[in-house]
Each structure stands twice: as C-alpha cells, then as structure tokens.
C-alpha cells in the first residue's frame, strides 16, 4: 500500500512565524499535491509538483511556497503565517498518469495560527 506521511497531526504557530509542513511518500509517485480543507469550501489546491524541483501553482498559492528537492518529499512553506491560514492541510500523491485510484492522501496536519 502507498503510504503518504505528514510529519505533524497538529501544529500551533504564532502569526508571522515561518512554518514548514513536510510530506513523504514511499511508492515512487511522480505527482505530489498540497491542499487545504475548510468547512463549506472543500479541498482547495495550493501547489502541486510533477517531478523533482518542479512546482506549479494551484488555485490558492498566495502566502505559500513549496520545495521538492527529492522525489519522495514535498514540503509546504508558509512564509509568514497568518490567522486565515488556520486550516487542515492535506498532502497527496499519485502516479504520473493518474491510475484508477486517483490520489493517496496523508493523514493531514491541522494547523492553528494564533
């Protein structure tokens, strides 16, 4: 089974802090994604990557950046955390050609910015 591991389940950070959310997958998937999930808004794509050192903006990239130095690891960075970035963050991975399972998700990181 594909495993997608997010480093923290819960995080509390202060406004203005730089925050790193880490995601690692162990099945050699090419694609990796970062979403945030908020009540009533569903899953919104922040950034994605189809390959090492490659990144593409999703629908809501403002205030975020990403890093993919190795194929298995995709990091989401909040340059200066703000209270409106309090959310559940979900990492996902998939094969390059999609496949019939779509995405495999990590357990999520619930981030609270105070």
Interface positions, 13-72, toward other proteins (CB under 8 A): 31, 33, 40-43, 45, 48
Smallest distance from other proteins to CB 57, Å: 12
| Helix, strand or coil, per DSSP, at residue 81 | coil
Pattern 90-109, other proteins, x by CB under 8 A? x------xx-xxxxxxxxx-
CA torsion through residues 106, 31, 19, 14, sign: negative
- Judge contact between 55 and 48, C-beta under 8 A: yes
Report the alpha-carbon distance of residue 57 to residue 79 in Å, rounded: 15
* Residue 1 engages other proteins in binding (rule: CB under 8 A): no
User: Which stretches of the chain bind other proteins, using CB under 8 A?
Assistant: 4, 31, 33, 40-43, 45, 48, 90, 97-98, 100-108, 110
């Amino acid at each position: 089974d594909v495993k997608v591991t997010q480093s923290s389940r819960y995080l509390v950070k202060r406004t203005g802090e730089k925050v790193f959310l880490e995601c690692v997958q162990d099945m050699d998937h090419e694609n990796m994604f970062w979403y945030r999930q908020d009540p009533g808004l569903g899953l919104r794509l922040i950034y994605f990557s189809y390959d090492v050192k490659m990144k593409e903006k999703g629908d809501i990239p403002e205030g975020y950046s990403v890093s993919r130095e190795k194929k298995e690891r995709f990091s989401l960075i909040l340059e200066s955390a703000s209270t409106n970035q309090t959310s559940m963050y979900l990492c996902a991975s998939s094969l390059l050609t999609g496949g019939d399972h779509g995405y495999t998700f990590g357990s999520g990181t619930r981030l609270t910015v105070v």
